[in-house]
Amino acid sequence: MDLGLKGRKALVTAASRGLGRACAEALAAEGAAVFSSARDEAALKQLNDQLGGAGYRVADVSVAADVEALVAAAVEALGGLDVLVVNAGGAPAGTLEQVDDEGFEKALQLTTMSAVRLWRHALPHLRRSDQGRIVNITSAYVKEPSNLLTLSNAIRPGVTAMAKMLSAELAPARITVNCIAPNSILTDRTRSIAATVAERSGRSLEEQLEANAAAMPMGRYGEAAELGALCAFLCSAQAGYLSGQTIVIDGGAGKTIF
């Protein structure tokens, strides 16, 4: 299937590894021109070389000035913008009693304000596209909170609600806005959370990962590339009437109906 992404101009944040990298790779594989961003310059250069990308910029998306400069640099390098993939590193794990006010403020800047600022600066350019797409990488915990992730539980649902609002606002401009909500995808963050559980249970990390995988409906973790494929579809020509949705990708592990 031709996804209609050839020549499309995409900005992907937190693209140096994990889910962001998988999205960048999937878009590039479909012929999109990809401009990538993260905090790790060496990893970004390696990714850009691998993809034959349109360029990259080191940026911390929790910093307002970095976001503004990033979008400007991407638009200049790409000659416009059709696709924005909003991704950022996850907030640290911790219960309510383990998280202080400073932790909440940092999580707000990293998760919520990064999305708000990326949307704000990208929208004038996306409005000029005939196939505008915004995909936000969130978490399955927006539907089923985790006892270990107080900050994510508190912050990510707000991004999801704003994305839903934005989808209706941008529908007349034919810009779609969707969220991908992953769980049980094997990334560095998944390993970090598993390490926290392993420490509490007296298991090794590998033992904990094996136990987690065995408890999943498919008996395995998902791969980042599987999420990347979903991202590419949401950015495709075929997904032009799919907007305002939060799509959980978790191998059937979740218990919610909607």
Over residues 108-121, the mean pLDDT reads 97
Structure tokens at 234: 């949401």
Percent of the chain with pLDDT over 70: 100
How many CB atoms sit inside 10 A of residue 67's CB?
25
Do the domain assignments include residue 2? no
**One domain for residues 201 and 144:** no
pLDDT of residue 198: 87
Per the structure, the complete domain to which residue 206 belongs is given by 186-221
Do the domain assignments include residue 90? yes
pLDDT of residue 93: 82
Write out pLDDT tens, residues 44-77: 999 999 999 999 999 999 999 999 999 999 999 9
CATH number, domain of 167, equals 3.40.50.720
Q: Where does the pLDDT of residue 190 fall: very low under 50, low under 70, confident under 90, or very high at 90 and above?
A: confident
Do the domain assignments include residue 228? yes
pLDDT of residue 90: 84
Q: Residue 127 in contact with residue 106, Cβ under 8 Å?
A: no
pLDDT of residue 218: 95
Q: Torsion-angle region of residue 223: left (phi > 0), alpha (psi -120 to 50) or beta?
A: beta
pLDDT of residue 200: 82
CA 33 to CA 254: how far, in whole Å? Answer: 34
Over residues 91-97, the mean pLDDT reads 87
Buried residues in 72-96 as b, exposed as e (16+ CB within 10 A): ebbbebbeebbbbbbbbbbbbbbee
**One domain for residues 134 and 209:** no
Q: Residue 236 in contact with residue 228, Cβ under 8 Å?
A: no
pLDDT of residue 183: 92
**One domain for residues 206 and 101:** no
Number of structural domains in the chain? 2
Over residues 39-44, the mean pLDDT reads 97
Do the domain assignments include residue 254? no
Write out pLDDT tens, residues 137-148: 999 999 999 888
**Spatial CB neighbours of 250, under 8 Å, sequence gap ≥ 6:** 140, 181, 182, 183, 184, 222
**One domain for residues 84 and 134:** yes
Q: Between these two residues, 215 and 71, which has the higher pLDDT value?
A: 71
How much is the mean pLDDT over the chain?
A: 95
